[in-house]
Amino acid sequence: MDLDRSSPVPLYYQVAERIESAITSHALPAGSRIENEIALSERLGISRPTIRRAIQEVVDKGLLVRRRGIGTQVVQGQVTRGLELTSLFDDLIRGGQVPTTELLSRETLPASAAVAEALAVPLGSDTLHLRRLRSADGVPVAVLDNVLPADYLDLDTAALQNYGLYQVLRSRGTTMRVARQRIGARRASADESELLELEDGAPVLTASRTVFDDSGRAVELGTHCYRPDLYSFDVTLVQK
Amino acid sequence: MDLDRSSPVPLYYQVAERIESAITSHALPAGSRIENEIALSERLGISRPTIRRAIQEVVDKGLLVRRRGIGTQVVQGQVTRGLELTSLFDDLIRGGQVPTTELLSRETLPASAAVAEALAVPLGSDTLHLRRLRSADGVPVAVLDNVLPADYLDLDTAALQNYGLYQVLRSRGTTMRVARQRIGARRASADESELLELEDGAPVLTASRTVFDDSGRAVELGTHCYRPDLYSFDVTLVQK
DNA sequence: GAGTGGTCTAGACCACCGC
DNA sequence: CGGTGGTCTAGACCACTCG
């Protein structure tokens, strides 16, 4: 038992990690039932509420399923097989290729009606518009358009060339907390197909996202388009 | 206060609903701070852990943000504005149009390697293959291909004509708990573009999903494609 | 009836924030 | 320093499932 009560890492988190790795390592095989809460609680010397929270963490990740009166079982299905064929981008990353980002343009523009509403800033107020091209292994993967409110007009251009946008924001003390995004598809525009090295009118996967910081204020409006042969989105849903 | 301690609806859920509706009705304006846990707990006569759980529910929906030492604030941004332009399908539904589903084909086939792995059934075992066309207001929206394991070979064809697949499964006693899905884009195939009334090679939005029941067993493998002008996916992410 | 998870309580101590 | 949320405890009672 590698539980450390003096660690700053919460107990429930340490327990959740142990359960999760027991599942992914198949020490707990798919479909098997895990120990009940009371037994776990006594065996680890931890109170039942803490054990419950640990288990709930793993349930929320879609790895466990619980039924009252029955028990807790491991969900079948390796998390990433079969469906994974499509995501060459992931393969590139796992193959050790670091994604790179090129800053294509940087402008300060007045907020349009749509931008003003999405960012909750005054209509016509200054906003920072960025256009970037993300590549992996020299292959262009996505065109990223971002709009940020006036507080960020002075973002460091050099930093944007070398680090991801979120990294730069975090180093300014901004902590992103909530993101709402809409995923869709459409034909690539002329400039997009050129940047992404696609035929004219080829399909692209799109995402529009608004990100909020830990005070609830909008930090960023992103409008991205991805090469669908190199990128896709994974989502896990748990019915509550 | 419309809290009902004798109701089967849990207290934390009743409280969470109240907070949520206070936010969506703008009784709690965006950016404002809500009462702290202790005050809420005393005012409602509910213990602090129960209040915490209620607040956490709303945080997980992306409507609240918490900071230690500061308090709990309402996230800005109406949940559905600006980004919503793309989703005509939602508009149809809200406009009172009920989606309809036509059963195009129904076959029993041996499981291929990919299907066997995704559903965790023996290679070559019987599986039920369905192809359906979903429409709203007479407009085709999606082509839905589904594969189900042998337990469901006897699904009622008439029911499938009249009710959604999930409705039929639920009436058999199956409760879906976890879904893992991958969202992407590609060109429509010839038959897809004909069914969806699109030009040849037009973009479609795709989703591949595996659904598991409350015992952790795979229930369904879905491979769907959507008209991107009529459908998109909304996702809310909360950093933990 | 025995075993399971689901809910709720009353209280404790701590870490972090701003004044 | 006082106020906030984050963690943890010990125990209670209930609802559900199964044999």
Label residue A119 by pLDDT band (50, 70, 90).
Answer: very high
Q: Is the pLDDT of residue A85 over 50?
A: no
What is the secondary structure of A53-112 as a DSSP string? Answer: HHHHHHHHTTSEEEETTTEEEEPPS-TTSSGGGG-HHHHHHHTTPPEEEEEEEEEEEEPP
Mean per-residue pLDDT, B102-128: 94
Residue of B128 and B94 predicted with greater confidence: B128
- The answer for residues whose C-beta is within 8 angstroms of residue B137's C-beta and 6 or more apart is B92, B95, B97
Mean per-residue pLDDT, A167-178: 90
> Each residue of A22-63: pLDDT tens digit?
999 999 999 999 999 999 999 999 999 999 999 999 999 999
Kindly determine whether the C-beta of residue B68 is less than 7 Å away from any atom of nucleic acid strand C.
yes
Q: In the prediction, which pLDDT does A74 show?
A: 95
Cα angle value A234/A240/B4 (rounded, 5°): 150
Q: In the prediction, which pLDDT does A2 show?
A: 77
Q: In the prediction, which pLDDT does A82 show?
A: 44
Q: What are phi and psi of A217, to 5 degrees?
A: -90, 145
Mean per-residue pLDDT, B164-184: 90
> Each residue of A59-77: pLDDT tens digit?
999 999 999 999 999 999 7
Cβ-based neighbour number of residue B153 at 10 Å: 11
Q: In the prediction, which pLDDT does B97 show?
A: 72
Q: Is the pLDDT of residue B3 over 80?
A: yes
In this structure, what token pair is assigned to residue B157? 């064809």
Cβ-based neighbour number of residue B47 at 10 Å: 11
Kindly determine whether the C-beta of residue A114 is less than 7 Å away from any atom of nucleic acid strand C.
no
In sign, the C-alpha dihedral spanning A30, A33, A36, A40 is: negative
- pLDDT winner (highest mean) among A146-150, A236-240, B73-77: A146-150
Cβ-based neighbour number of residue A120 at 10 Å: 17
- % chain A with pLDDT above 90: 69
Nearest residue to A221 via CA among A233, A209, A231:
A209
Q: Which positions on chain C have an atom < 7 Å from some protein CB? A: 2-12, 15-18
Among B49-63, B70-84, B110-124, B154-168, whose mean pLDDT is lowest? B70-84
Determine the distance in angstroms separating the CA of B235 from the nearest CA of chain A, rounded to an integer: 5
Mean per-residue pLDDT, A215-223: 94
Label residue A84 by pLDDT band (50, 70, 90).
Answer: very low
- Chain B residue with minimum CA distance to A209: B83
Determine the distance in angstroms separating the CA of A102 from the nearest CA of chain B, rounded to an integer: 24
Q: Which residue is nearest to nucleotide C6 (CA to C1')?
A: A68
Cα angle value A196/A117/A209 (rounded, 5°): 35
Contacts of A76 in chain B (CB under 8 A): 120, 212, 216-218
CB B146, CB B220: distance < 8 Å: yes
Among A88-97, A122-131, B168-177, whose mean pLDDT is lowest? A88-97
> Each residue of A193-203: pLDDT tens digit?
999 999 988 99
CA of A37 to C1' of D19 (A): 22
> Each residue of B63-102: pLDDT tens digit?
999 999 999 999 997 665 444 444 556 666 666 777 888 9
Q: Which residue is nearest to nucleotide D14 (CA to C1')?
A: B8
Q: In the prediction, which pLDDT does B164 show?
A: 85
Q: Measured between alpha carbons, how far is A173 from A171 in angstroms, rounded to an integer?
A: 5
Q: What are phi and psi of A113, to 5 degrees?
A: -60, -45
Q: Is the pTM of this model over 0.95?
A: no
- Chain A residue with minimum CA distance to B236: A180
Mean per-residue pLDDT, B101-124: 93
Average pLDDT, chain A: 89
- CA–CA distance from A29 to each of A64, B38, B209, B223 (Å)? 11, 43, 22, 27
CB B106, CB B157: distance < 8 Å: yes
Q: In the prediction, which pLDDT does B98 show?
A: 76
